[in-house]
Structure 1
Amino acid sequence: MYLSNEVKAEIFKQYGGDEKNTGSAEGQIALFTHRINHLTKHLKENRKDFNTERALVRLVGKRRSLLDYLKKKDITRYRAIVKELNLRK
């Protein structure tokens, strides 16, 4: 599988502060971004995979709602994660 436990731990360590801190908004946003990039690459090769397309749209919505939550709670953390992950908006 493309997302092993070591990759997840590295993502949470880099963005969440600690590899055990899987509930942090920044860590979850980074994990969603990693998964979104993987699914986008998959869909470029498999244009008619509609189940994956639906999963991608759901992930983007989840990431957007987490970003909105973080923006409402702490604008500096929001700006830092958007800049670090090169997200639009």
Structure 2
Amino acid sequence: MYLSKEAKAEIFAKHGQSAADTGSAEGQVALFTTRIAHLTGHLKTNKKDFSTQLALQKLVGKRRALLGYLFKKDINRYRAIIKTLELRDIIK
């Protein structure tokens, strides 16, 4: 994959409890956001790459589901991750 172990550990350290905490919802949302940004950039130059487009749609769905989980479980954690990643408030 395009992300090294160190880059992933940095993402999880910044947004999760620690670099080894790969299971927290905040860390996963941050990783999905990084991957979504990468795939979006790829699709800007390769408009007919439909397999990447499908992968992007699946990632967006996974991120939305995790954000919905955070919204239901702990609204403060949801608001914090939305603010740090500068995402739109997608849960109404």
Tell me the TM-score normalized by structure 1: 0.98
Match of 1:7 in 2: 7
Q: How does 1:4-83 map to 2 (within 5 A)?
A: 4-83=4-83
* Counterpart-to-counterpart distance in 1, 2:86 and 2:48: 28
**Separation in 2 of the partners of 1:88 and 1:43?**
21
Residue 81 of structure 1 aligns to a residue in which SS? Answer: helix
Aligned length in residues: 89
**What TM-score does the superposition give when structure 2 sets the normalisation length?**
0.95
CA offsets, 1:27-80, max 9 Å, x none? 000000000000000000000000000000000000000000000000000000
Q: 2-side partners of 1:38 and 1:45: how far apart?
A: 12
Quick one: distance in 1 between partners of 2:2 and 2:59? 16
The percentage of counterpart residues that share the same residue type is 67
* Counterpart code for 1:41: G
Q: What CA distance in whole angstroms lies between the structure 2 residues aligned with 1:13 and 1:84?
A: 14
- Alignment root-mean-square deviation, CA: 0.6
Unmatched segments (≥5 aa) in structure 1: none
CA distance in 2, matches of 1:82, 1:31: 13
